[in-house]
Amino acid sequence: MFNFECLISILQINNKIMKKHVLLLGLFFVSFTVISQDSTLFVGNSMVKYDKNQTLEILQRILNNQTKKNIIDDVACDGCSLHHHLITLPPFKENFFGSSAWTTNKIELAATPSYIINHRFKKVVFQETPMTVVDSVRFIKNTKIDFYRLDSLTKYHSNQIYWLEPYAAIYLHSDKNSNINLDSLYNIVIQRFDNLKQLDSNLINIPIAFVVKEFIKKYPKVNLQIGGSHPNKRMQFILACCLYYSMYNGTPDEIPFLHLFKNDKNQMKEKGLKEYTYSLYKDYLIKYK
């Protein structure tokens, strides 16, 4: 005679096993999602992000095309140096932290250190004001010390630290003096990176100043800026591509067509810029690695 009690016991055991497997499977997918998620913090000023500088938005659109989830955040504030991020925020208009200090003498306490400490970013990008880098006295007195302090905050919270080259210093100086030696100017920039590398041997350079230098040498009449030193749409796309290649091991074929330029029916502007930027990035690696 068939034992129904035995059958029920077997079904109950199987049900427990199934539930256990479902739970383990769920934990696996949660763990996989956490592991496969990448997060990046940009510490800088309007050269990274402001209302007309949409570099990070372009970069996020590029990253959204990838299977791995990438999250971008920033503590960019107009005019901020690394020192401002550590000590205070200057009395500018409403900033990232929600303080309205425009036309007042109010100085807000810097929130960047606590923001880095309280969040686990896998990548942190430091970016200094363009003129600070070419001013050797100011760089030694301020930037090196401030970089060391900010870098120390990330030691136990981030996997990799990057330095974003001051690309605007290249085209600003070339605008003022068409006869300037761009290679000599860039040597100053790379020396500054070497100075910071002494403080953090794991620091990785994002060679956008090198890309701009070579771009200007080949296309001297092509404009890259808007609103003074800020990047125009062309420069924003070049910068986003360079960030993608430097920080995410990307290649040009992975970048989708984003329709960034009007009347670009043949897609040549985006296609040409992303491929040329990649070739210059590879040239940098060959020369300086």
Residue 95: give the domain boundaries.
38-288
Per the domain annotation, does 1 fall within a domain?
A: no
How many other C-beta atoms are found inside a 10 Å radius of the C-beta of residue 240? 27
pLDDT at position 93, please? 40
Token output for 11? 């079904």
Per the domain annotation, does 17 fall within a domain?
A: no
Token output for 159? 């996997």
pLDDT at position 56, please? 96
Per the domain annotation, does 152 fall within a domain?
A: yes
CATH of residue 143: 3.40.50.1110
How many other C-beta atoms are found inside a 10 Å radius of the C-beta of residue 138? 15
Per the domain annotation, does 16 fall within a domain?
A: no
Per the domain annotation, does 47 fall within a domain?
A: yes
**Reported pTM:** 0.80
The residue behind tokens 């070739």 is 279
pLDDT at position 229, please? 83
Q: 172 Cβ partners below 8 Å, 6+ apart? A: 130, 225, 229
Q: Are 110 and 75 in contact (CB under 8 A)?
A: no
Per the domain annotation, does 191 fall within a domain?
A: yes
pLDDT at position 11, please? 42
Q: Are 285 and 211 in contact (CB under 8 A)?
A: no
Q: What is the pLDDT of residues 89-133, one digit of tens each?
A: 544 444 333 443 333 344 455 678 888 888 889 999 999 888 777
Per the domain annotation, does 18 fall within a domain?
A: no
Residue numbers in the chain where pLDDT is lower than 70: 1-36, 88-110, 156-157, 264-267
Per the domain annotation, does 2 fall within a domain?
A: no
The tally of domains found in the chain comes to: 1
- Helical residues (DSSP H) of the chain, grouped into ranges: 4-36, 55-63, 82-86, 112-118, 130-134, 136-138, 144-154, 167-176, 182-197, 208-218, 233-248, 268-288
pLDDT at position 215, please? 95
pLDDT at position 200, please? 92
pLDDT at position 265, please? 62
pLDDT at position 5, please? 55
